[in-house]
C-alpha cells in the first residue's frame, strides 16, 4: 500500500458519498429544499449530482430531493421538526441549507490527505500509458530474475600456522532467469566460468545452491539447476519466451538484472540493431546478436532482454565501452539461439554441434599465401568428416553451400545452421594440380566441390 497526498478516484467517490449523505440528512430534517437550493446543486459536477441523487433515493425512496408527500384530505400531515421549529424558523433556515451542503462536502476533503492507495490504483491514477506498461512489465517479470554469485578456491597462507589453506572467495556475480518450473536457471557461461560454488538469490531474499546442468562456451550459454523445498516452489516464476526473429530496429526493449550488485534493476531502451556478430568467450562467433542502447553494466550479464509484451527475446551478454561501464552499446544473445542451445543442454548435457573435423588456418593466411579469400586446411581432426570426403591439407575452402568464406568465422556461421549427420557442399581450391587449373597470384590451383557429411564436434563441457 502507498500513502499519498494527491486526490484519488476512490477518495473523490468517498467525498461525494459523504456529501450526498449530508444532503439527505438535511433534507429529511427540514423538509423540501426551497427553490434557491439549486445553487448548491448547480455547483456540483454531473458525477457529484448523480451520486447525491442516488444517496437521496436510498434515504427517501424517490428520485431527486426529498419532498413532503401529501396525504388524503385538503390538509397535509407535517412531521414535526426535531427542535419544534415553527414555520417562521424553517423559513429562516432555508437559506442556510445550500451552505450546509457545501460544508458537508468540505468536511470530507481532509480525509483524502493520508488515505492508503493500492499500487494498481496509484498506477491508474498517476501514471501515463507508457509508464504503466513499464511498471507492469517490471512487476510481472522481476520475480523470474535471479542474482547469481560464484566463488573460487584460492590458496591462502595462514600467518599463525605458516601453512597454506584453501579458502573459497567470491569470484564474480551476474544475473539469470527462471527458464521453467523444474528449477532450471539460464545465464551466461562467463558468469559461472571457473566457479567452484554457485548461489542463486531470488527476489524475496531466499538463497539456494545451484549446480551446473551444462554449458556451451561457444554461444556463452549455461543452464543451472536449483532444488527448492516444496514450500519454496512458488519462487520459481518462469519468464515468457518470445522469438527474436521478428525484432525490428526501433522497438522498445527492457533489461532486468543486477548491475554492480544492485539487484533487480530495470533499464529501458530500443533495439539499435539486429544481425550483429561478436565473439563468445569460447572464441566462436555468436550470430544474429541484438544491439540495444538499454543500459547494460557489469552484473547485467545473463539477465533477460524483454520486449513490450514482457517476453524474453534475448540475454544481455556484452557491452562495448572504453571504461567498462555502459556506453549505450550493448549486445544480447538472441532468444532463438538460446532456445536451441538450452534444448541441447537439457537433453544431452552439452550442445551437439556439427563439425568438418578439420584444423583451419588463421584469418588472412590464404590471402597471404595464395592471394585469394578463404581459409586454409591445416590438418585433420580424429575421425575427420572432411578427410573422409576427400579434403586435403593445404586445400583452401572458398565457399560452403551458398556462403562465401572470407574468414574462419564464416565457416562457423554456416555450420551452425546444420546438425551432425547433415551434408554440406564445399568448394575448394587445391594447389599444384594440372587439370581445370585456376591461376592465382600465389600459384596454380584446381577448383572443385565435395559433399561432406558433417560429424559431431567434441563436447564442450566445464
Tens digits of per-residue pLDDT, 346-385? 999 999 989 999 999 988 888 888 888 999 999 988 889 9
Structure-model confidence comparison of residues 449 and 441, the more confident one: 449
| Model-wide pTM > 0.75 | no
Let me know if residue 127 belongs to a domain: no
Examine the residue annotation and report whether 184 is marked as an active-site residue of this protein: no
Query: Which pLDDT belongs to residue 431?
Result: 84
Q: Which domain holds residue 152?
A: 142-235
Catalytic residue among 216, 219, 220, 326: 220
pLDDT at 281 (0 to 100): 84
DSSP structural state of residue 132? H
Catalytic: 220? yes
* Residue 461 resides in a domain: no
Which pLDDT value is given to residue 2?
44
Domain boundary among 346, 363, 395: 346
Q: Which of 37, 272, 301, 335 is catalytic?
A: 301
Distance CA 44, CA 40 (A): 7
Q: Which of the four pLDDT bands, split at 50, 70 and 90, describes residue 103?
A: low
Angstrom distance (rounded) from CA 423 to CA 159: 62
Report the candidate in 337, 333, 382, 330 with the shortest Cα–Cα distance to residue 356.
382
Instruction: Select from 308, 287, 299 the least CA-distant residue to 409.
Output: 287
CA trace torsion 170, 172, 178, 184 (10° rounding): -60
Asked whether the predicted pLDDT for residue 204 surpasses 80, the reply is: yes
Q: 298: which 3 cell numbers?
A: 557489469
Q: Which residues contact 52 (CB under 8 A, 6 or more apart)?
A: 16, 19, 20, 23, 41, 44
Q: Which of 55, 175, 184, 190 is catalytic?
A: 190
Residue 243 lies in a domain: no
* Among the listed residues 102, 100, 111, 99, the one whose alpha carbon sits nearest the alpha carbon of residue 15: 111
pLDDT above 80: residue 155: no
Separation of alpha carbons 16 and 22, rounded Å: 10
Among 346, 368, 395, the domain-final residue is: 346
Most confident of 26-30, 166-170, 458-462: 458-462
What pLDDT, on the 0 to 100 scale, is given for residue 301?
92
User: Does 165 map to a domain?
Assistant: yes
How many independent structural domains does the chain possess?
4
Amino acid 104: pLDDT: 57
Residue with the bigger pLDDT between 163 and 394: it is 394
Please say which residue of 291, 319, 346 terminates a domain: 346
301 carries an active-site annotation:
yes
Give 235 or 118, the one with higher predicted confidence.
235
Residue 377 shares a structural domain with residue 329? no
Amino acid at each position: 500500500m502507498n500513502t499519498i497526498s494527491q486526490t484519488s478516484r476512490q477518495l473523490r467517490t468517498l467525498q461525494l458519498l459523504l456529501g450526498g449523505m449530508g444532503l439527505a440528512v438535511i433534507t429529511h430534517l427540514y423538509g423540501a429544499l426551497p427553490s434557491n437550493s439549486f445553487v448548491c446543486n448547480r455547483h456540483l459536477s454531473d458525477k457529484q449530482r448523480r451520486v447525491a441523487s442516488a444517496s437521496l433515493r436510498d434515504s427517501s425512496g424517490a428520485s431527486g430531493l426529498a419532498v413532503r408527500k401529501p396525504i388524503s384530505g385538503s390538509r397535509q400531515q407535517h412531521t414535526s421538526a426535531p427542535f419544534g421549529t415553527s414555520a417562521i424558523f424553517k423559513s429562516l433556515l432555508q437559506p442556510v441549507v445550500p451552505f450546509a451542503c457545501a460544508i458537508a462536502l468540505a468536511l470530507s476533503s481532509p480525509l483524502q490527505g493520508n488515505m492508503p492507495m493500492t499500487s494498481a490504483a496509484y498506477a491508474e491514477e498517476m501514471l501515463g500509458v507508457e509508464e504503466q506498461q513499464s511498471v507492469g512489465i517490471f512487476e510481472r517479470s522481476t520475480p523470474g530474475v535471479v542474482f547469481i554469485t560464484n566463488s573460487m578456491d584460492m590458496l591462502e597462507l595462514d600467518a599463525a600456522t605458516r601453512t597454506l589453506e584453501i579458502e573459497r572467495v567470491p569470484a564474480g556475480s551476474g544475473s539469470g532467469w527462471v527458464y521453467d518450473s523444474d528449477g532450471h536457471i539460464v545465464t551466461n557461461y562467463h558468469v559461472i566460468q571457473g566457479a567452484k560454488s554457485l548461489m542463486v538469490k531470488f527476489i524475496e531474499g531466499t538463497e539456494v545452491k545451484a549446480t551446473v546442468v551444462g554449458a556451451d562456451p561457444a554461444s556463452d550459454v549455461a543452464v543451472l539447476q536449483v532444488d527448492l523445498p516444496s514450500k519454496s516452489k512458488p519462487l520459481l516464476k518462469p519468464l515468457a519466451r518470445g522469438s527474436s526473429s521478428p525484432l525490428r530496429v526501433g522497438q522498445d526493449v527492457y533489461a532486468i538484472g543486477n548491475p554492480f550488485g544492485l539487484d533487480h534493476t530495470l533499464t529501458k531502451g530500443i533495439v539499435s540493431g539486429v544481425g550483429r556478430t561478436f565473439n563468445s568467450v569460447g572464441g566462436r562467433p555468436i550470430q544474429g546478436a541484438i544491439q540495444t542502447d538499454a543500459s547494460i553494466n557489469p552484473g547485467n550479464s545473463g539477465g533477460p532482454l524483454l520486449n513490450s509484451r514482457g517476453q524474453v527475446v534475448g540475454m544481455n551478454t556484452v557491452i562495448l565501452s572504453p571504461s567498462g561501464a555502459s556506453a549505450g552499446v550493448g549486445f544480447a544473445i538472441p532468444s532463438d539461439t538460446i532456445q536451441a542451445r538450452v534444448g541441447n543442454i537439457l537433453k544431452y548435457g552439452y550442445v551437439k554441434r556439427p563439425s568438418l573435423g578439420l584444423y583451419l588456418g588463421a584469418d588472412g593466411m590464404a590471402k597471404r599465401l595464395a592471394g585469394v579469400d578463404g581459409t586454409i586446411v591445416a590438418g585433420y581432426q580424429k575421425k575427420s568428416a572432411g578427410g573422409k570426403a576427400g579434403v586435403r591439407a593445404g586445400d583452401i575452402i572458398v565457399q560452403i553451400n551458398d556462403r562465401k568464406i572470407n574468414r574462419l568465422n564464416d565457416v562457423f556461421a554456416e555450420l551452425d545452421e546444420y546438425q551432425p549427420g547433415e551434408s554440406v557442399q564445399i568448394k575448394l581450391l587445391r594447389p599444384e594440380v594440372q587439370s581445370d587449373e585456376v591461376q592465382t597470384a600465389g600459384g596454380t590451383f584446381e577448383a572443385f566441390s565435395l559433399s561432406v557429411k558433417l560429424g559431431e564436434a567434441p563436447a564442450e563441457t566445464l
